[in-house]
Amino acid sequence: MRSPAKLSMVIVMKDELIPKDLAKKYTQKEILEIEKKYLAPAVGHYYEHPVLFVEGKGALLKDSTGKEYIDLFAGICTTITGYNHPKYVATIQWQAERLVYTSSLYSTIPYAVLVKQLAEIAPRGLSHSFIVNSGSEANEAALAMVRKYTENPYIIACQRGYHGRTTLARELSSAGWRTFPEAHPPGVRFTPYGYCYRCPFGKEHPGCDLECAHYLREVIRTQTNKAIAAFIAEPIQGVGGIIQPPAEYFKIVHEIVKEYGGFYISDEVQTGFGRTGKKWWGIQHTGVEPDIITMAKGFGGGIPIAGFISRPEIAVNYTVTDSFATFGGNPLSCAAAVAVIEIIRDENYLEKAAKLGGILKKKMEELKEDHKIVGDVRGQGMMLGVELVRDQKTKEPAIQEMLMIMETCREKGLLIGKGGLDGNVIRLQPPLELTEMQIDEACTILDDAFKKTEKGL
Ligand SMILES: Cc1ncc(COP(=O)(O)O)c(C=O)c1O
């Protein structure tokens, strides 16, 4: 028998225990050289001169030269509780000292605590979770589950949506990522999304009768056997360019999905965990009760974790022989996710996201008044989009200008995201741990960047 004293030993953090190569001070140039030599070019960075970040605190990042940046993109919509929140760091350290990994072949406390908490914050009726490592994997798992349950192959996804990069998730995505030829996997169909700024039917809301939503019936009737396994959609498209349909879009689509026997999957990889303000999930703003929610990104606050939560009657059919993930539900990631949920609850982030998001959106709308390059401002809570155009009438996407604006912002210490089929939408998806002063500073920088870029228009 092992001595209990050994098992309960707590490791004291000592600098000399850290691998020397990690603790060394590198310049940005040195790191870029290593990357060039050893990294597959499938990894690409933002900016002409990519930044090397070494530290973060709240919504601020510090680069290797000591320069600070306000991060309005949270990595990619991920560090929802900000960088290095004390409770988050303490929980990860605490768990790491006890048990980083064992598989879900065994019970662990963090996995059980996490799924219980997820059921508490999920919309009504959703109670059974399955935990994996990435958003793509979560979507694949949810889709496999509904296909098995319905014995139907048809999945309907939305145009300009994004659901990940594994085989099926990539094929369900149409946000401009299909870069090499692949045959469509059988059963995937697309329907229009409610993109009012560029309505696919050339109409204007509210006088349009939501043709984009009703079109789903046409897709199902002409391209399936008049029954579907599921419809999957983001409540606000992220990668596609922060596109938010009117709430009725979701109600109409949900009704049609039910008429044809399908399940409604809300992909909340970006919209989950309070990002849209006041509610835990984006779909809760639409009046639709989903059958399954998939989640990732903010879920772990930066530590990889993803999963789905489902109605029990669907989940019960998805059994131990159907799926497995070596790292899925590992104690370290689950503990981090528990800390994220607690921070969001204890620090009232749902209200904070609504309040600060409202302030940020109002400021963006003011910038729209002053700048002809801003075609549209949209989104909700801390998930906002600013679509840039070369001409307000033709709505020609301002693609090069977007890159210039990003570079100017970087020079002045502001990080923003890029999205949309043409890469002309500024994505503002900051940590919920943001201050009003940071918002003011960020808006001044954006104002300057718009001015500078417009001179060349
Ligand atoms: C809405 C949505 N779903 C799924 C994914 C895939 O997540 P991951 O990159 O963790 O596989 C993403 C990633 O950006 C996403 O935005």
Task: List pLDDT tens digits, range 66-102.
Answer: 999 999 999 999 999 999 999 999 999 999 999 999 9
- Does residue 305's CB lie within 6 angstroms of at least one atom of ligand 1? no
Q: For 34-46, how does the pLDDT look when each residue is reduced to its tens digit (9 = 90+)? A: 999 999 999 999 9
Q: How far is the CA of 17 from the centre of ligand 1 (A)?
A: 35
Distance CA 403, CA 380 (A): 24
Q: For 391-411, how does the pLDDT look when each residue is reduced to its tens digit (9 = 90+)? A: 999 999 999 999 999 999 999
In this prediction, residue 186 carries a pLDDT of 84
How buried is 131 (Cβ within 10 angstroms: 0-12 exposed, 13-18 middle, 19+ buried)? buried
DSSP-derived secondary structure letter, 247: H
- Does residue 371's CB lie within 6 angstroms of at least one atom of ligand 1? no
pLDDT band at 6; cut points 50, 70, 90: low
In this prediction, residue 15 carries a pLDDT of 82
| Polymer length in residues for the chain | 457
Q: How far is the CA of 178 from the centre of ligand 1 (A)?
A: 15
- Does residue 239's CB lie within 6 angstroms of at least one atom of ligand 1? yes
Segment 343-359 shows an average pLDDT of: 98
Whether the model clears a pTM of 0.85, i.e. scores above it, the answer is yes
In this prediction, residue 4 carries a pLDDT of 47
- Does residue 135's CB lie within 6 angstroms of at least one atom of ligand 1? yes
- Does residue 299's CB lie within 6 angstroms of at least one atom of ligand 1? no
By alpha-carbon position, which residue is closest to atom 13 of ligand 1? 164
Higher per-residue pLDDT: 167 or 164: 164
Q: For 181-229, how does the pLDDT look when each residue is reduced to its tens digit (9 = 90+)? A: 777 778 999 999 999 999 999 999 999 999 999 999 999 999 999 999 9
pLDDT band at 5; cut points 50, 70, 90: very low
Q: Is 248 helix (H, G, I), strand (E, B) or coil?
A: helix
Contact 288/367 with Cβ under 8 angstroms? no
Instruction: Compute the CA torsion angle 250, 255, 260, 261 (nearest 10 deg).
Output: 90
- What's the mean pLDDT when you consider all of the chain? 95
pLDDT over 90, % of the chain: 91
Domains in the chain (CATH in brackets) are: 17-36+54-85+350-454 (3.90.1150.10), 90-346 (3.40.640.10)
419 sits in which H/E element: strand 417-419
Q: For 281-331, how does the pLDDT look when each residue is reduced to its tens digit (9 = 90+)? A: 999 999 999 999 999 999 999 999 999 999 999 999 999 999 999 999 999
Q: For 129-153, how does the pLDDT look when each residue is reduced to its tens digit (9 = 90+)? A: 999 999 999 999 999 999 999 999 9
Tokens of residue 394, six digits:
């033709």
